[in-house]
Chain A
């Protein structure tokens, strides 16, 4: 019995004696875990970076689209005011009037107009009140300046 216990103790010591080898393996496992952890962190970082870059690229594309839209709108604005200027040009109006058989007056006489009548005409033609406050009612130069001011404020 005592011998058996001794043998078990010996075996226990032998097992104990083998532990440093296991500890050596454990030490190596710790390094591996550290490497795995590091790799995981790097992979996660890379993935996060990829996601961030994708988001940035997506938003940059959106910004590019908006900027292109602004440029296109500016070009359209220039085209439209050129068309408007052509439509308001005396040359075209004169030609259109002649097509309607209108001719320059042979003589001109200035007639005094009663201020009351003048006021009634202004009111009837919608030229009174705060119509001037509506941006659409701005003249071509003021409209142009308004767009230019906005462009200068947001280059």
Chain B
């Protein structure tokens, strides 16, 4: 398309011969390149110098401006492209190798991670009642460096938290010194109180959520449940044994925050949910546990004893309905439930309860029968020791049944010797003596049972009636339970099941069992043990409506000097009774032991110190477990008639 000329241009062309000369060449500057060529031919044309110079100067200036502009554009474009390339290279570098560190720094600046504590599992009794539970609580702390008015802040905290004078002084000193950035005021206070303090928005006062472990039933079951420290970590009992299972795993939430630290609504967040700990369902029955503890406290208090233990066990399954320990506090003289489970931790010489094992072994091996007779003196020399029965009597002919009913030490030795010491030892091991039970309780003792070849002097025979060996109460009740369970040993058990994170209950495996004596042998010993209660040393264990079988034990406690008497010639006793009921079809085995009943009183014996506690417990246990009395006549009445 040809270029159109304006009147102004035409006028300029008319006034400029050089332009015509230039036009005579027949070329027109169709573009800027042509215009440049025209400029060269114009300089060689014979035209008046002044006018040409004038026109050329103007056009040349125009062209120069155009050329410079293009260069500028090119330079700027190159600069921009170069700058963009630099940015691209930098971005590529940051995206590939050097960016992680910066991303991490940036993330730290705009995000905040808050730990989410997992709830510690609850501990239930066999009926689903809570024995140990974690509840929300608040922990109050201060940052002294941020506190502007120490006196006012302290006044508010004192009024709300009831701080004592010592605590007030300590906090005030910290606030004034302003050296530390974190000081606890009170941990695990009530959550509502924490919320109240948080609402006050006191400068330098922090309120944080924390859970607190409580036993809603008071001290009931504390010996078994154990303790956690203030951080919720198990330090004793089942809380320690199952700490990992109860703890669960903590989570955390990461969210973006504004420069002021406030959360940014709608911003991306990353949350790892905490997994709550599993919950334990114990075999304990809270009511039976409480009744045991109350009965023990009453008896230990009434007799002036040192401590007491009670275990209630299901005959068939080995589940423990109760496992209680009480002890007299030496400073206050009060008797209270212990935090330690002495039923599994302490081992004593069991005394005459162990005669059950000796008699059962003799009958099961066929060495003796219930009616086998021995001529029994009231004392006999064995090695260097003169061994004796509990009371003086003439040499008399006693059946094995009478030996057990009257709890004759010398007669029991005869049965052991008839059985043979190696076989007797094998039976003691089979009854569970000398090794830990399946409870695996923290600090549980395995007792002491030397191999028969290692027994020295009179110990070789005194083990037959429970001296020269040591057993824990849980070992002893499990051993006697073999007789109640028709000769079958069933390991004790305290955890019935576990509630998982999905709410499903996983029952624990049934207790391990093994046969110790034949059912017929067990039945004979059961019958003997009924006689012990009806006519022997345990008459105070008799209960209306139920026939009871059992055996008393009065063991001597070894003294620090190695003997059975202390420096003042005093003996210490360990009185116990282990029985089961209903005798016709045993359902529950119960052990009661009273530690160090007063030596000079009638209450030092198992039949007087421990058996009455058993009798007191039976109705409650029967009621709680729904046991109905048998319709048969009373075994003791029948015996009398």
Contacts and interface: CB of A to CB of B under 8 A. Distances in A.
B502 A148 contact: yes
Contact of A53 (B129, B266, B628): B266
A82 B273 contact: no
A109 interface: yes
Interface stretch (B210-218, B302-310, B584-592): B210-218
Given A89-B216, A108-B545, A140-B128, A79 B503 contact: no
Given A14-B6, A85-B216, A90-B287, A152 B130 contact: no
Contacts of A142: 128
Given A14-B4, A148-B502, A107 B544 contact: yes
Nearest to B543: A108
A126 interface: no
Interface centre among A89, A139, A145 (most CB of B within 10 A): A89
Interface string A112-138: 000000000000000000000000000
B119 to A, nearest CB: 8
Give the bracket for the number of chain B residues in contact with chain A: 35 or more
A86 B215 CA distance: 8
Given A85-B216, A86-B216, A139-B127, A17 B294 contact: no
A146 interface: yes
Interface string B498-514: 01011101000000000
A84 to B, nearest CB: 8
B290 interface: yes
Contacts of A14: 4, 6-7
A149 B503 contact: yes
A75 interface: yes
B135 interface: yes
Interface in B485-519: 499, 501-503, 505
Contacts of B266: 53, 56-61
Interface centre among B1, B129, B505, B629 (most CB of A within 10 A): B129
Nearest to B212: A82
B377 interface: no
B505 A145 contact: yes
Interface in A53-101: 53, 56-61, 64, 75, 78-79, 81-83, 85-86, 88-92, 94
A90 B214 CA distance: 16
Given A53-B266, A86-B216, A148 B503 contact: yes
Interface string A2-26: 0000000000011011101000000
B290 A94 contact: yes
Given A82-B216, A86-B217, A152 B502 contact: yes
B4 A89 contact: no
Contacts of A108: 543-545, 619
Nearest to A89: B217
Contacts of A79: 135-136, 191
A108 B279 CA distance: 37
Contact of B133 (A16, A18, A20, A82): A82
